[in-house]
Amino acid sequence: MSGGSGHLPYSMRDVGAGGAYNNAKFRHRSRLKAVSTCLRPFTGSNGCFDLEWCILMVIQSLASNSNRYRCGKFTVGKFLSLLMVSGLLYLFLHKSSEGFVSGELHGKEVQDKNVRRAPNIRTFWRKPPRLPPRLPPNEIYKNNSLFQQSPSEWTSRQKKVKEAFEHAWSGYQKYAMGYDELMPLSRRGTDGLGGLGATIVDSLDTAIIMGADDVVSEASKWIEENLMKRISEKGQVNLFETTIRVLGGLLSAYHLSGGDHAQAGDSGIPVTYRKANPERLLEVSKDLADRLLLAFTSSPTAIPLSDVILRDRTAHAAPDGLSSTSEASTLQLEFSYLSRVSGDPKYDREAMKVFEHMQTLPKVEGLVPIYINPYSGQFSGENIRLGSRGDSYYEYLLKVWVQQEEYRDSSLKYLFEMYAEAMRGVRHLLVRKTIPNGLVFVGELPFGRNGEFSPKMDHLVCFLPGTLALGATRGITKKKALESNLLTDEDKENLQLAEDLAKTCVEMYFVTSTGLAPEIAYFHIEGDKEGGPDGGNKSSKYINDIIIKPLDRHNLLRPETVESLFVLHRITEDPKYREWGWQIFQAFEKYTKVDSGGYTSLDDVTSLPPSTRDKMETFFLGETLKYLYLLFDESNVLPLDKYVFNTEAHPLPVMRSAQQSSQSV
C-alpha cells in the first residue's frame, strides 16, 4: 500500500465515473485491427471480404476528395498499401479453400491430425471477446481460486512478519531490556506496567511460535534470573494488565514449552523449536498469582479490587472506588488454567466467583455498564459500549465457556447463555449502518437504553468479529459446521455480522492516508447532522462514511483487527482476510518501523508523513505480530477447536476431561 491509497486488494481504476466497467480500455488496437476498421465498409453482409467491390470503392474515393472513411482521406500511398493488403487477402482466400476448413471458427481439430487447421477469414474480422467486468468490492473474493496465493507466497509473507518481530525485539533488547516498554525514537525504556519487564514476558510465546530461537533464549534467561526478584520488590500493578500480559504470557510459554505434557502435542509447533524452562515458568506464575489473589480476597464482594501492591501483598481500589467491568471479568482463563496445572483450585475458585455474581445482576438485553463497584457489587452508571472498559467482558463469557469443555453443558452453561443474550442485545441496540455506503458498525449507549445512540466505535471493538465467528462454529471451519448441520440460524446471523464488522474494521485502515486505523472512529448515519474530518484517503469509497476527529487520530499498533482477520480466515477459509492482513502489515512496515530497532505508535494516521508518539506497546509483539504470523500459517498450528487465546493473544489449551481427551485422539 502506498500512502493508504490502495482501497482494498482489488482495483477500481478501470471503472468509469458512473460506476460502469469500461471494456474499451482493454481493447488493444493492433495494426491488423486498424486495417480491419478501414476495410469494414467493404465487407459484405455475410462477413466476407468483397475484393472487387473494395477496388471499385477505392477508385470512387480517388475521384472524389469529399468521400471520407474511417481511415481518413485516401492518398496515393494509402491506395498502394490497400492494393497490397487486398492482394494478400485475395491469395489467402484461395489458399483457405485448399488448406483450411472454413467452419472451424474456434480452432477445433478435424479428423486428419496431419493437416494443420486454422480459422477462416471471419476469425480475423470478428470482434474481440468482451472481458468480464471487474467484480464489485463485496464480490471480489467469492471466486477464491482467482486470488489464492501459492503456499510459498504465504510462507514468504510469514517470514516477513517474523523478521518484523525480530526487528522489534532487537530495538527493545538493545535499548530497553528489563523495562516494560521501548521508546524507539529516543532509544530508551520506560516502566508503565509495574516494572516486571512486560515486553519480555508478552513476547516469549510469540518467539516460541515463530521459532525465533535467539529471542526465546534471551527472554527465558531474563525471566529465570530476574522476574521472581522483580515481583517481590515492585510496588503497585494493575490486576487486569498484569494478569493478561504477565501471568498469561508465563502460562502460555509454560504450555508451549511442554509443561502440560497431556496436551502440548496439539499445538502444531515444531518440536525442534527452542523452548523455555517450564518448571521455572510455573514457579514464577504461582508466586505472582498468589500476590494477585489479594485483589479478590481483600474485596468485600466477589468483584476484585483493581490494584495490588506486590511487595506488600496488599490490594486497593482505584481512586474513584470503581473497577472496570472488563477488567474484573477478564481474569478467568488465566486463573482457571493455573489451577489445572498446579493442582490448586483456589485460583479458579476466586476468579469464577466474578461471573457467578455477575450472572445475578440486572442487564439491558444482556448488555452491561462499563463500571462496577467492588464494595457494593453493583454496576455503576449506565454507559454501555463494547470498546474500552466493556470489551473483554463479552469476550471472556464465550472463551471461558470454550476453554472448560468438560463443563460446557453443565455448570458453565450459563456463560454461553449470557454471551448469546448479549449478542442479541448488540444486534438489536448497537448495530447500525452508515450512509451513504452501508458499512455495519457497533455504536454506544453513553446514557443507557433510553439515552441517545452514539455512532462511535473504538478500534478495540474490532475484537468482536473474531469472537462472533468463534461463538458461531466453536472453532471449526464454517464448511465443516455446515456439512455437520451444526449452525443454528442465530449462529449464521452472528457469522454474517462478524464478516460485515470485519470489513468495517478494515475500512477504518484503508480510509486513512497511512492505511492505518485511528484509535476511535465515528460514522455518518441517517439523521445525524454532525459531520467531521475524514481519514485523508480521497480514493476510498467510504471517505464520507467514516469520521475521524483530531483527538482520535492516533494509532497504538493495536491488534484487534488482525486478530479478527486471523480467526475469520481460519473459520471461513476466505483468502481475502489474508490479503487484508498483508496490506495492514505493509502499512505498519512503511510508517511505524524505526531503523535503529522497534516500531513506534503514531500520533496522526490521516496526515503524511505521520507524526509519531515514541512508544512501542508490549502488545505489538505479544498480539499484533503474533496474529499476523498465524494468519499466514497452516490451520493445524494452534487450532481454534483446541486452543483459546486470552485477550492478550496468549494461547491456552482447551481443558478436557481425561475421557474427552482420549476420545479426541
Q: Give the Cβ contact number of residue 103 at 10 Å.
A: 12
- Phi, psi values for residue 320, rounded to 5°: -85, 0
In the chain, the N- to C-terminal Cα span, in Å, equals 44
Q: Would you tell me how many other CB atoms lie within 10 Å of the CB of residue 283?
A: 16
CATH of the domain at 517: 1.50.10.10
Q: What is the pLDDT at residue 66?
A: 43
| Same structural domain, 485 and 366 | yes
According to the annotation, is 434 in a ligand binding site? no
Q: Is residue 139 part of a domain?
A: no
The one-letter amino acid at 223: I
Q: Grid coordinates in use for 410? A: 453443565
Is 450 buried (19+), middle (13-18) or exposed (0-12) by CB count in 10 A? exposed
Q: Is 530 exposed, middle or buried (0-12, 13-18, 19+ CB in 10 A)?
A: exposed
Q: Do 180 and 49 belong to one domain?
A: no
Q: CA-to-CA distance for 304 and 299, rounded, in angstroms?
A: 6
Residue among 599, 563, 593 at smallest CA distance from 581:
563
Task: Indicate whether this model's pTM tops 0.85.
Answer: no
Q: How many domains does the chain have?
A: 2
C-alpha cell at position 540: 476510498
Q: Which residue has the cell 503514531?
A: 602
Residues catalogued as catalytic: 241, 391, 519, 560
Q: Which of 77, 102, 127 is the last residue of a domain?
A: 102
C-alpha cell at 552: 482520535
Identify the pLDDT of residue 616: 98
Distance CA 229, CA 220 (A): 15
Question: Is 259 a member of any domain?
Answer: yes
User: Residue 608 is placed in which grid cell?
Assistant: 503524511
Is the N-terminal amide bond of 446 cis, ω within 30° of 0? no
- Give 103's strand partners: none
Kindly state whether residues 303 and 164 are assigned to the same domain. yes
Query: What pLDDT score was predicted for residue 118?
Result: 43
Whether residues 82 and 169 fall in one domain? no
Q: Is residue 348 one of the residues assigned to a domain?
A: yes
Same domain flag for 58 and 193: no
- Residues 196, 59 within the same domain: no
Distance set, CA 224 to CA 156, 216, 217, 251, 281 (Å): 34, 12, 11, 14, 8
> Same domain, yes or no, for 367 and 280?
yes
What are the DSSP E strand ranges found in 258-396? 307-309, 314-316, 323-324, 371-372, 379-380
Give the separation between CA 386 and CA 427, rounded to whole angstroms: 12
**Would residue 324 count as lying in a domain?**
yes
Element (H, E) at 431: strand 431-433
Residue 372 bridge partners (DSSP): 323, 379
How far is residue 174's CA from residue 171's CA, in Å, rounded to a whole number? 5
Distance between CA atoms of residues 501 and 49, nearest Å? 59
For residues 68 and 206, membership in a common domain is answered with no
Whether residue 609 is preceded by a cis peptide bond, meaning omega within 30 degrees of 0, is yes
Same domain for 360 and 239: yes
Q: Tell me what pLDDT residue 261 has.
A: 76
| Same domain flag for 653 and 561 | yes
Q: Both 535 and 420 in a single domain? A: yes
215 and 275 within one domain: yes
Q: For residue 646, count other CB atoms closer than 10 A to its CB.
A: 28
Compute φ and ψ for 118, nearest 5 degrees. Answer: -145, 160
Choose the final residue of a domain: 102, 123, 143. 102
Return the closest-CA partner of residue 347 out of 263, 243, 204, 259. Answer: 243
Instruction: Give kind and range of the element (H or E) at residue 181.
Output: strand 181-183
Q: Indicate the DSSP class of residue 373.
A: -
Q: Are 190 and 183 in contact (CB under 8 A)?
A: yes
Task: Decide if 350 contacts 339 (C-beta within 8 A).
Answer: no
Q: How many other CB atoms sit within 10 Å of the CB of residue 66? A: 6
Distinct helix (H) and strand (E) counts, the chain: 25, 15
Per-residue three-class SS string for 393-416: HHHHHHHHHHHEHHHCCCCCHHHH
As a whole number of angstroms, the distance between CA 288 and CA 296 comes to 14
Q: Phi/psi of residue 593, each to 5°? A: -75, 135
The rounded average pLDDT for each run of 10 residues, N- to C-terminus, in the chain (665 residues) is 38 37 36 42 45 46 43 54 62 45 35 40 39 40 52 93 98 98 98 98 98 97 97 97 98 95 76 90 98 98 98 97 98 98 98 98 98 98 98 98 96 98 98 97 97 97 98 98 98 98 98 98 90 95 97 98 98 98 98 98 98 98 98 97 98 80 49
Q: How far apart, in whole angstroms, are the C-alpha atoms of residue 541 and residue 553?
A: 19
Could you tell me the three cell numbers for 499? 464478516
Residue 538 neighbours by CB under 8 Å, 6+ apart: none
In sequence order, what are the residues at sequence separation of 6 or more whose Cβ sits closer than 8 angstroms to the Cβ of residue 59?
A: none
Q: Is residue 133 part of a domain?
A: no
Contact by Cβ (8 Å): 454, 445: yes
Give how far Cα 587 sits from Cα of 171, 192, 510, 591, Å.
19, 27, 10, 6
Closest CA to 556 of 394, 388, 326: 388
- Please report whether residue 16 resides in a domain: no
220 φ/ψ angles, rounded to the nearest 5 degrees: -65, -35
CA atoms within 13 A on the CB side of 6: 15
Cell, residue 204: 516469549
Tell me whether residue 256 is in a domain.
yes
- Residue numbers of the domain that contains 259: 154-664
**Nearest to 103, CA basis, from 77, 81, 89, 123:** 123
- CA–CA distance, 344 with 535 (Å, rounded to integer): 51
The candidate with the shortest Cα–Cα distance to 267, out of 633, 642, 650, 649, is: 642
**Nearest alpha-carbon partner for 11 in 652, 21, 577:** 21
Residue 610 lies inside a defined structural domain of this protein: yes
Q: Taking the CA atoms of the chain, what radius of gyration do you get in angstroms?
A: 32
Q: How many residues are listed for the chain in this entry?
A: 665
Task: Provide CB contacts within 8 A for 551, sequence distance 6+.
Answer: none
